[in-house]
Amino acid sequence: MIKFLFKGILRDRSRSLFPFLVVTAGVFLTVALHCYIKGAEINVIRTNANLRHGHVKIMTRAYAKEVAQLPNDLALTGAGALIDDLTRTYPDIDWVARILFGGLFDVPDEKGETRAQAPVAGLAVDLRTPGGPELGLLDLAKILVRGRLPQAPGELLISEELSQKLGLPIGGRATLIGTTMNGSMSMANFTVAGTIRFGMRGMDRTGLIADLADVRKAMDMDDAAAEILGFFKDGLYSQERADAVAASFNARYAGKTDEFLPVMQTLRDQLGMDMMFDRLNDVSSIIIFIFLLAMSLVMWNAGLVGTLRRYGEFGVRLAIGEDKGRVYRSLITESLLVGILGSTAGTALGLAFSYYMQVHGIDVSSLMKGVNFLMQTVMRSKITPAAFFIGFIPGVAASLIGTAIAGRAVYKRQTARLFKELES
Amino acid sequence: MKRLILALSLAAGAAFLTAQVQAPAPSADSILDRVDRNAVPGNKIVVAEMTIHGRRDSRTIKSKSWIQGQEKAFTEYLDPPREKGTKMLKTGDQLWTYSPDTDRTISISGHMLRQSVMGSDLSYEDMMEDRRLRTAYEAKIAGEEAIDGRGCWIVEMTSRTGEAAYQSRKSWVDKERFLVLKEERYAKSGKLLKNVSVLSAIRVGERWVAERVLFHDALKQGEGTEFKIVSIEFDAAIPEALFSKASLRK
């Protein structure tokens, strides 16, 4: 019977093509949207990882406990040797040292007296090593608003808003007042090489990026780092991989009590990130669920309409003596076949499209001219295991339910009135 | 007769002892007056070492201060090399610091005053504090206790204006030397902010001076900061020009 129905579906396109196309389109959109949302999730995660957290992060145990306060007195020492060791042990990860610090940016007048002053939140990264990964991770060339990237010692980037607020032009000099690793007050002069826009309110009010070597010198943190961040070389965060790396690293120091020993945390383990992951997951699940519901209604309706269109055909089949149950069962089986075929085709198309989006993505930078803040300009998708079956729910079930409901009309037909109906 | 004399002697002795025990204690304000007179002289030049016992290690910073009453102070850091040449000037309620590396003089105000001085357990606010306790605080005697074998008044103080760096203090004042041997300093919320203990005292002329003092910021981990006076000279001649911003860059 299935073979017979299958031939019917293929040969009588008038009754199968429309439902097939509707199911295919619906499933394609469902799979593509699911993968796109997962890709957008990854973009958010990537931005957070690149700017602040890394895929994995190493701090001292003491620093990790008070990380929200940026306690640089508890920073890692001997960072260079540790990075060398990490590079040998985990060659598929790029390691970078960073220092986060707070302070005051003090702009002098002609006499050297304070003309303007503002609190700043600074990020020290390696800006001057040729071919270093930081320029790419922070996408500094893209977020540059005016001026250029730092090239010489003592140069830094400040947020455009801060530059305007302090009246500090490109090439202007100011003193960064902060705290050394020992807690003493530190003062260091810097020249503004360029201004940047982070695209985040807090960072745009007070943010600055300086070279790691300059900040180490200013803060008496020779060969020290507040944090060492690790990034998987393929750029993709994987919780399983991160967990494995963190477990193997932390096992080295298991059973030791020194609070200045290093500890590795995955992106998700870091302050507030578990909540961000959960929120992202909740939001994307809600979006996908709503879309899935809408698509199911469309496909349910297609099953309904497709069956009702064949009202006359059922009459003829009943008139020539076919059993009502058999007609109903054939309808259901046909719908199931159309659902499976449409869902398979839709899933295949959706996966193909998502694969292209995952590998190549769509560069929307031309649409974002003048938007120079830290935001991914290549929109990418991410194929997840769920993408392989998520389309089958609306594709098969919805159209099947639609057909099942509409098909009940078969049982309401009365043989005595069939010929009268067919004549009219 | 002998018995009578003995009985009278005993009675007299008992009366004397009772009178001594029941002698009225000095008022809290008079105790603070004596403390202020002991601690706030005219001019002094102090060379001091500050050993900061951090969570990681300890380091010592040497400085020389020229102090005029409670209004003016000029400090130059002498050691270690990284801090050498850093200078601080206090005039009234203003505080300035000069860094030779940047050749900049910066006013320390607002929240910066709460920052630690050179990573120690002392804040700039501590340095700016009006040292005359009598005028800044309302005081009452809360009891007596011995500290390292020395009898002390326990004086509880509450800020008169609410503008002091510490809303309240509990001080153990040496009954004879009128030197604060131990102190707890509290915030408005009642939270303990700082512990101060005098480890040793020396007599310089008429005054008793805390030679070694251990400050411990209760909000910080670590073993505290030991402040040690290497030398002190009272009533020294200090040129007025020293207490000017221009002298910071010299």
| CB distance B199 to B150 below 8 Å | no
At A335 the pLDDT is: 83
Q: A333: which 2 tokens?
A: 């089986």
Instruction: Print burial letters for A360-386: b (CB count within 10 Å at least 16), e (below 16).
Output: ebeeeeeeeeeebbbbbbeebbbbeee
| CB distance B167 to B136 below 8 Å | no
At A245 the pLDDT is: 96
pLDDT of A352 higher than 90: yes
Residue with the larger pLDDT of the pair A164 and B56: A164
Residue with the larger pLDDT of the pair A316 and B85: B85
At B20 the pLDDT is: 43
Q: What is the pLDDT of residues B112-127, one digit of tens each?
A: 777 788 888 988 888 7
Say whether A113 and B105 touch across the interface (CB within 8 A).
yes
pLDDT of A346 higher than 90: yes
d(CA A44, CA A13): 45
Q: B165: which 2 tokens?
A: 């760096």
d(CA B70, CA B50): 21
Q: What angle do CA A270, A275, A280 make, to 5 degrees?
A: 115
CA-closest candidate to residue B87, choices B250, B204, B248: B248
Q: A201: which 2 tokens?
A: 């309110």
ipTM of the complex: 0.72
pLDDT of A112 higher than 90: no
Q: Which of the four pLDDT bands, split at 50, 70 and 90, describes residue B84?
A: very high
pLDDT of B207 higher than 80: yes
Query: Which helix (DSSP H) or strand (DSSP E) does residue A319 occupy?
Result: helix A311-319
Provide, as residue numbers in chain B, all residues whose Cβ is less than 8 Å from the Cβ of A179: 115-116, 119
Tell me the pairing of strands B58-68 and B72-79: antiparallel
| CB distance A31 to A391 below 8 Å | yes
- Asked if the C-beta of B120 comes within 8 angstroms of chain A's C-beta atoms, the answer is yes
Q: What is the pLDDT of residues A1-16, one digit of tens each?
A: 667 666 766 677 666 7
SS3 of residue B209 by DSSP:
strand
| CB distance A170 to A162 below 8 Å | no
- Asked if the C-beta of B52 comes within 8 angstroms of chain A's C-beta atoms, the answer is yes
The residue count of chain B comes to 250
pLDDT of B103 higher than 80: yes
User: Which residues, listed in sequence order, are joined to residue B140 by a DSSP beta bridge?
Assistant: B156
Measure CA A115 to chain center: 43
Q: Say which CATH architecture domain B28-248 belongs to.
A: Clam (2.50)
Q: Which of the four pLDDT bands, split at 50, 70 and 90, describes residue A263?
A: very high
Least confident of A155-159, A279-283, A317-321, B201-205: A317-321
Q: What angle do CA B35, B39, B41 make, to 5 degrees?
A: 125
At B10 the pLDDT is: 44
Q: Which residue of A has its CA nearest to B118?
A: A184
Which stretches does DSSP call E strand in A330-405?
Answer: 362-363, 378-379
The 10 Å Cβ neighbour count of residue B144 is 12
Mean pLDDT throughout B185-199?
94
Provide, as residue numbers in chain B, all residues whose Cβ is less than 8 Å from the Cβ of A112: 103-105
At A370 the pLDDT is: 52
Of the candidates B99, B105, B119, the beta carbon closest to that of A183 is on B119
pLDDT of B21 higher than 60: no
Provide, as residue numbers in chain B, all residues whose Cβ is less than 8 Å from the Cβ of A120: none
Q: Which residue of A has its CA nearest to B119?
A: A183
- Angle of helix A324-359 relative to helix A273-308, nearest 10 degrees, comes to 140
CA-closest candidate to residue A273, choices A48, A107, A50: A48
User: Which residues, listed in sequence order, are joined to residue A122 by a DSSP beta bridge?
Assistant: A101, A208
SS3 of residue A270 by DSSP:
coil
Of the candidates A104, A184, A188, the beta carbon closest to that of B119 is on A184
Q: B172 to chain A nearest CA, in Å?
A: 30
SS3 of residue B174 by DSSP:
strand
Measure CA A391 to chain center: 21
Q: Which of the four pLDDT bands, split at 50, 70 and 90, describes residue A372?
A: very low
Q: Which of the four pLDDT bands, split at 50, 70 and 90, describes residue B175?
A: very high
At B14 the pLDDT is: 45
Query: Looking up tokens 């099942």, which residue turns up?
Result: A404
Mean pLDDT throughout B57-85?
91
At A376 the pLDDT is: 60
At A246 the pLDDT is: 97
Q: Which residue of A has its CA nearest to B115?
A: A185
Query: Which helix (DSSP H) or strand (DSSP E) does residue A156 occupy?
Result: strand A155-159
Mean pLDDT throughout A225-238?
92
Mean pLDDT throughout A14-26?
80
Q: What is the pLDDT of residues A270-305, one digit of tens each?
A: 877 888 888 888 888 888 888 888 888 877 777 777
Percentage with pLDDT > 70 across chain A: 91
C-alpha distances in Å from residue A250, one per residue of A259, A418, B119? 13, 79, 31
The residues, any chain, with a CB within 8 Å of residue B145's CB and separated by 6 or more, are: B152, B154, B172
pTM assigned to the model: 0.73
Query: Which helix (DSSP H) or strand (DSSP E) does residue A23 occupy?
Result: helix A13-48
At A423 the pLDDT is: 65
Of the candidates A108, A113, A182, the beta carbon closest to that of B59 is on A182
At A322 the pLDDT is: 80
Query: Which helix (DSSP H) or strand (DSSP E) does residue B202 occupy?
Result: strand B192-204
Percentage with pLDDT > 90 across chain B: 50
Which stretches does DSSP call E strand in A218-377?
Answer: 227-232, 262-266, 362-363
Q: What is the pLDDT of residues A130-152, one digit of tens each?
A: 888 898 888 888 889 999 999 99
Provide, as residue numbers in chain B, all residues whose Cβ is less than 8 Å from the Cβ of A109: none
Measure CA B4 to chain center: 54
| CB distance B106 to A175 below 8 Å | yes
C-alpha distances in Å from residue A5, one per residue of A71, A308, A315, A403? 72, 18, 18, 15
Say whether B99 and A187 touch across the interface (CB within 8 A).
yes
At A142 the pLDDT is: 83
Delimit the domains of chain B by residue range: 28-248
Say whether A183 and B99 touch across the interface (CB within 8 A).
no
At A52 the pLDDT is: 86
At B18 the pLDDT is: 44
Mean pLDDT throughout B165-169?
91
Provide, as residue numbers in chain B, all residues whose Cβ is less than 8 Å from the Cβ of A114: 106-107
Mean pLDDT throughout B186-212?
92
Q: B23 to chain A nearest CA, in Å?
A: 49
Which stretches does DSSP call E strand in A324-381?
Answer: 362-363, 378-379
d(CA B48, CA B124): 17
Measure CA B196 to chain center: 8
Q: Is the dihedral of CA A315, A318, A324, A327 positive or negative?
A: negative
The residue count of chain A comes to 424
Percentage with pLDDT > 70 across chain B: 89
Residue with the larger pLDDT of the pair A41 and A265: A265
Give the helix ranges, DSSP H, for chain B.
Answer: 2-21, 28-39, 124-128, 133-136, 245-248
- Angle of helix A399-406 relative to helix A273-308, nearest 10 degrees, comes to 30
Q: Is the dihedral of CA A230, A232, A235, A240 positive or negative?
A: negative
DSSP string for A74-141: G-BSSHHHHHHHHHHH-TTEEEEEEEEEEEEEEEE-TTSSEEEEEEEEEEEE--SSTT-SHHHHTTHH
Mean pLDDT throughout A236-243?
91
Q: How many CB pairs under 8 A join A and B?
A: 61
pLDDT of A409 higher than 90: no
Q: A319: which 2 tokens?
A: 């008139």
Mean pLDDT throughout A32-49?
86
According to the per-residue pLDDT averaged within each range, which of A42-56, A122-136, B177-191 is highest? Answer: B177-191
Question: Does the bond joining B80 to the residue before it have cis omega, within 30 degrees of 0?
Answer: yes
pLDDT of B15 higher than 70: no
- Phi, psi at B95, each rounded to 5°: -130, 130
Mean pLDDT throughout A183-202?
88
CA-closest candidate to residue A96, choices A245, A219, A227: A227
